[in-house]
Amino acid sequence: RAMAARYGSGQRELSVGSTVFPALPTADLRGLELEGNLEDVGYSVVPPAGLANVKDLWEDMARAVRTVEAAGLPPVWALMFDAPWLAVQRGWAIAQSVLGSDCILEPSLFIWSLRRNEDVRKRVKGQETEDAPRDAATWHGSEEREEKRCERIGQNFGLPHRDFSYTEAHFPDGRPRILNTWLPFTDATVDNGCLWMVPKEFDPMYASPEEYDHSRPATPGFEAGVTKVRFPMGTARPVPAEQGAAVIWHNVIHWGGCCGKRALTPRIALAATFRSTASKPTHLTEDGLLDALVEPLRPSSDKNTSCGLIALESRLRLIAKALLMYSDWYALTTESLPLASELTEGCERSS
């Protein structure tokens, strides 16, 4: 709350633990016109139909991210505010239509917030821009940066990859075990860094987890700035999405685009993974000990019943989990986990 007051730029106060979310429209995908086909193409974009009454909350999601970044924290710390959890609930309702009403939200949430290319270059040169929050790349030494794939926590994942193998994402009969949801807090465009995906028809290794190229569609080359790609680049498609939409997939090759210097608003988005109740936890969460932390948010089939909120202590644990989970990509220090640093040891034991 103190952070919101200090960095909120005099706008409407961001809520912490007190929001009552309005009922969201049905997420039955059969009644919606989708861009792409989840089963044939491998991904879909669910439009933000019926979300006009919560547009202010979607704006609050982006403001929450900018607020924590202004305070020098990674974007995922925005989960301490209430608004981003509405996006998670939206993703959960969509997942229920794909995986069943009893599907489980994996405690592996993350938030990305991009920088304009011009802002990034000025940061590298030691210059400042008034509209760019402090860059988390300054939190750790240059030698440590070189060992990591990304310089800043919450920076775009620009390397083509799969989140899960075909086996982890599907049952033996081909039915989906999991659904990945990507929920933009801003419009996601080609200019500001939307996702790119490879349709299943152009991915001969999609259902071949035993093949090397399945789990490593792209790898960093030996030379700086070189990437070895194991699929035809011309088959990749940009996947723009409006604020409030949801991009969903099982295990297609994908990556995030970069934000150009002329983009009106750098892209901000949250990712959440859901799994069938008949499936064991994925490799990202393994033991499932943190699953119960997110249960209060589960969408209800009763339209007159609003979902609950995640307890503040639970939010801290989920943030710590997220930062530890992606520590192979980002350099972490205790400065990345202020206030929650005491919880990291417990999260490491339980995740």
- Residue whose C-alpha is closest to residue 38's, from 252, 207, 254, 276: 252
| Residues in CB range of 55: below 8 A, 6 or more apart | 243, 244
Strands 227-229 and 104-105: unpaired
* Type of residue at 85: W
What pLDDT score does 146 carry?
A: 40
Query: pLDDT (tens digit, 0 to 9) for every residue of the chain, 351 residues total?
Result: 555 455 555 556 677 766 666 656 555 555 455 555 888 899 999 988 766 666 788 889 999 999 999 888 899 999 999 889 989 999 998 999 899 989 999 988 999 999 988 665 555 444 444 444 433 333 233 333 344 456 678 787 788 999 999 999 999 999 999 999 999 999 999 999 999 999 999 999 999 999 988 988 888 877 777 788 888 899 999 999 999 999 999 999 999 999 999 999 999 999 999 999 999 888 888 777 788 888 888 887 654 444 567 888 899 889 988 888 877 777 676 666 655 444 444 444 443
**Contact criterion met (CB below 8 Å) for 182 and 268:** no
| Residues in CB range of 349: below 8 A, 6 or more apart | none
**Residue positions counted in the chain:** 351
CA-CA-CA-CA dihedral for 80, 82, 84, 90, to nearest 10:
140
What pLDDT score does 328 carry?
A: 73
Rounded Cα gap, residues 176 and 163, in angstroms: 14
| Residues in CB range of 234: below 8 A, 6 or more apart | none
| Residues in CB range of 205: below 8 A, 6 or more apart | 211, 213, 214, 217, 230, 231
What pLDDT score does 207 carry?
A: 93
The pTM score is: 0.82
What pLDDT score does 285 carry?
A: 80
pLDDT tens by residue, 311-329: 888 998 899 888 888 777 7
Calculate the alpha carbon distances from 230 to 136, 150, 199, 210 in Å: 31, 21, 14, 15
HEC per residue, 138-162:
HHCCHHHHHCCCCCCCCCCCCCCEC
Side-chain half-sphere exposure of 125, counting CA atoms within 13 A: 9
What pLDDT score does 347 carry?
A: 43
What pLDDT score does 177 carry?
A: 95
Residue 113's beta-bridge partner residues?
A: 268
HEC per residue, the chain:
CHHHHHHCCCCCCCCCCCCCCCCCCCCCHHHCCCECCCCCCCEEEECCCCCHHHHHHHHHHHHHHHHHHHCCCCHHHHHHCCCHHHHHHHHHHHHHHHHCCCCEECCCCEEEECCCHHHHHHHHCCCCCCCCCCCHHHHCCHHHHHCCCCCCCCCCCCCCECCCCHHHHECCCCCECEEEEEEECCCECCCCCCEEECCHHHCCCCCCCCCHHHHCCEEECCCCCCEEECCCHHHCEEECECCCCEEEECCCCEEECCCCCCCCCCCEEEEEEEECCCCCCCCCCCCCCCHHHHHHHCCCCCCCCCCCCCCHHHHHHHHHHHHHHCCCCCCCCHHHCCCCHHHHHHHHHHC
- Residue whose C-alpha is closest to residue 76's, from 68, 241, 163: 68
What pLDDT score does 122 carry?
A: 54
